[in-house]
A and B are shown apart, each in its own frame.
Chain A
Amino acid sequence: MTAPLPPLVPGPGVTAPGSQPHDIAIEVEGLTKSFGNTVVVRNLTMKVRRGLIYGFLGPNGSGKTTTIRMLCGLLTPDSGRGTCLGYDIRTESEKIKRHVGYMTQRFSLYQDLSVRENLEFVARIYGLPDPRGAARAAIARLGLEGRAEQLAGALSGGWKQRLALGACTLPDPQLLLLDEPTAGVDPKARREFWNEIHALAAQGLTVLVSTHYMDEAERCHEIAYIAYGNLLAHGTVKEVVAASHLTTWTVSGDNLVALADTLAKRDGITMVAPFGTSLHVSGPDKAKVDGAIADFRADPALTWEPAEPSLEDVFIDLMGQAQGNGARS
């Protein structure tokens, strides 16, 4: 499941335009946003260093898109404060817009304009000195030479997503906000996309990317996990896994479906998940987990092995806790 990780080396720092300490791209404190009676983001505090690829994870409706929109000035927070590239997210969103590339979840370039026309439009809005030249260069960089005159709406999902990335990197931003950029894109295109993101980060760009894919999370320098508006965990993948204190066993053998049902009911087991021909069995308390599985350890038909919890185990556990909290409050 783990793809070869690109080196976890942040790119060289770039000069900040604002008054912010130079190595911080995003710093927000206590951000809260509600729509009607629903609190979508609750008291969110986070800090993203420059040159990092920062993964933003969480279940659907957890407030990822809302957070990203608040960062680039598309939504006004109800309370809380913060800066993006040193500019205040409440009062200086016009300046933020100039230096941030935002890639929306849904393809939002003009379907009825060609690839070249879309890129030239973006270049002109940002006031680039040579829009035609900039668009030409972007087309070459994206490998879209053969498709420059094709209408954007006629491109396949993977190409649309490359075009969208090309459009938001065109004005030479310092920060990229990518909202589920690879949803619905095939694995090869996904891989190429991530190589591109790492190349951009190596040039000093900061990238905040939201995703549902665990392999993508593992390609980020740092990750944050947000559920139901709350930030539940953050740090490097290793730190997040370690901080979970999960004890995980993998078990393989016969009749795993029945075993999964039985184990899930036992005290101390918070998660039982099938992975191919084996089960992942986890719980936060090592003694309780070991006690719960003790009866089955002796079964010769089953093979037990202690395992490192995967990021997915950790997230599903976190999600369960968050739901539990939600139910209690």
Chain B
Amino acid sequence: MIGSGTRMFLRRIGAMLLKEVLQLRRDRVSLATMITIPLMQLLLFGYAINTQPRHLPTAVLLQEQSDVGRSILSAMKNTRYFEIVREVRDEAEFDRLLQSGTVLFGVEIPANFERDLRRGDRPALLVAADATDPVGSGAALAALNTLTTTALRWDRSIPEFTAPPFDVRSHARYNPAAVSQLNIVPGLLGTILTLTMLIFTALAVTRETERGTMETLLAMPISPVEIMLGKIAPYVVIGFLQGSLIVGAGTLLFAVPILGNLALLATLTTLFIATNLSVGYTFSTLAQNQLQAMQMAMMYFLPNLLLSGFLFPFAGMPTWAQWVGETLPLTHYLRIVRSIMLKGSTLAELRYDTLSLVVLMLIAMTIAVTRFRRTLD
């Protein structure tokens, strides 16, 4: 009796198991998620992410041409933290490059630096760092301080020294106290908006298809563009409220400043919301059902989290990963929101990222409208 009971118990489990395997075999997207998500994580964490970013874009301002100056610059390059991409003529250009995010560091060798050095007056090397991302700039600044003793060790023209022959006077701009909240809160604004907006619209079309309401909708005189815009519009408002909530809480609880124009922030945030909604809607037109749409949204969210510069410094990633990052709306929005809130940047300075968001939105919308099945064929 007991024996046969156990046998039946196992057989029923076996029947259930077999059925699950059969169904899973037909669910290609689930299988794909099982393979791609761990692979993607492994590759991105292994190759793309670097918490000690190197080759950070740096501009130099040489107020004098001198051998020691060149020695110091080449020593900086040798640390591999700095990549000198520009040589500027005056401080205004310096500020402009930092403000627009073209460079993360500005190094100034002041006039009479070599003379002061030879006299043993301990002149100061002036360094301005974009500290909106404290993780990104921190390690490089630390490396800079060790340069003071090592850079000129072999320079015979300088008197023997015991103390460092020059100082580094660094100025962490935009976030002088290196408070991580100042970086995280604007970043979270972008990340949360990406996740929620994606999920809202990723289900928009598949839900209609799954519930059978799509057939009636298609038989009615309404065009795919009208359906798309009608479905996206309410979530723009919801996303906007959500964004206001995060910004409000960020300024009240964490004292995150908004140095730039609030109206500009609101406008570009709305643009970012619309872009994400369009991307989610595109998934919705590609997926067969709601589960697939959710899986696609998740697979898309992962690189957003890792490659946008939210968790890890963008400048520290290899070039290929930066290229991938450029295709993600979040990357551009993070630059926009950090720049407006912490640097007080203007639209003119953010035109590249703004334009990128517009282009990404239009691409997503075009795919969605062309992929939208007007018929049941």
Contacts and interface: CB of A to CB of B under 8 A. Distances in A.
Interface of A: 69, 72-76, 94, 97-98, 100, 102, 104, 106-111, 122, 125-127, 167
A69 B219 CA distance: 9
Contact of A110 (B213, B220, B375, B377): B213
A47 to B, nearest CB: 22
24 contacts: A69-B376, A73-B375, A74-B215, A74-B218, A74-B375, A75-B377, A76-B377, A97-B219, A97-B220, A102-B216, A104-B215, A104-B216, A104-B219, A106-B212, A106-B215, A107-B212, A108-B211, A108-B214, A108-B216, A109-B213, A109-B216, A110-B213, A126-B221, A167-B216
B219 A102 contact: yes
B222 interface: yes
B213 A75 contact: no
Q: Name, among A97, A98, A110, A125, the residue most crowded by chain B CB atoms within 10 Å (CB to CB).
A: A125
B145 to A, nearest CB: 63
A107 B375 CA distance: 18
A18 to B, nearest CB: 16
Contacts of A109: 213, 216
A74 B376 contact: yes
A188 B215 CA distance: 28
B79 to A, nearest CB: 61
A110 B376 CA distance: 19
A94 B225 CA distance: 14
Nearest to A110: B213
Interface residues of B, number: 14
A169 to B, nearest CB: 13
A99 B216 CA distance: 14
Contacts of A111: 211
Contacts of A108: 211-216
A125 B211 contact: no
A74 B214 CA distance: 11
B219 A100 contact: yes
B219 A74 contact: yes
Contacts of A126: 220-221
Interface in B200-220: 211-216, 218-220
B220 A122 contact: yes
A294 to B, nearest CB: 54
Contacts, number: 48
Contacts of B213: 108-110
Contact of B375 (A75, A94, A106, A122): A75
Identify the 3 closest CB pairs spanning chains A and B, nearest first.
A102-B219, A108-B216, A97-B221
Contact of B222 (A69, A107, A125): A125
Nearest to A33: B377
Contacts of B221: 94, 97-98, 125-127
Contacts of A98: 221
A98 B222 CA distance: 9
A147 to B, nearest CB: 20
Contacts of B214: 108
Nearest to B218: A74
Interface string B178-214: 0000000000000000000000000000000001111
Given A72-B219, A104-B219, A110-B211, 10 more contacts: A69-B376, A74-B218, A75-B377, A76-B375, A97-B220, A104-B215, A107-B212, A109-B213, A110-B213, A125-B220
Contacts of B212: 104, 106-108
Contacts of A104: 212, 215-216, 219
Q: Name, among B211, B213, B216, B376, the residue most crowded by chain A CB atoms within 10 Å (CB to CB).
A: B216
A109 B219 CA distance: 12
A162 to B, nearest CB: 16
A292 to B, nearest CB: 47
A68 B218 CA distance: 14
B291 to A, nearest CB: 19
Nearest to A94: B221
A102 B220 CA distance: 9
Contacts of B219: 72-74, 97, 100, 102, 104
Contacts of B216: 102, 104, 108-109, 167
A126 B220 CA distance: 7
A107 B218 CA distance: 14
A97 B221 CA distance: 5
Contacts of B222: 125
A72 B374 CA distance: 12
Contacts of B218: 74
A202 B213 CA distance: 30
A94 B216 CA distance: 14
Contacts of A125: 220-222
A252 to B, nearest CB: 46
A73 B221 CA distance: 11
Nearest to B376: A74
A134 B221 CA distance: 17
A118 to B, nearest CB: 10
B203 to A, nearest CB: 13
Contacts of A110: 211, 213
Contacts of B377: 75-76
Contacts of A127: 221
Nearest to A111: B211
A153 B246 CA distance: 37
A62 B212 CA distance: 21
B374 to A, nearest CB: 9
A110 B211 CA distance: 8
Contacts of A75: 375-377
A106 B375 CA distance: 17
A175 to B, nearest CB: 12
A79 to B, nearest CB: 14
Contacts of A97: 219-221
A223 B211 CA distance: 32
Interface in B98-128: none
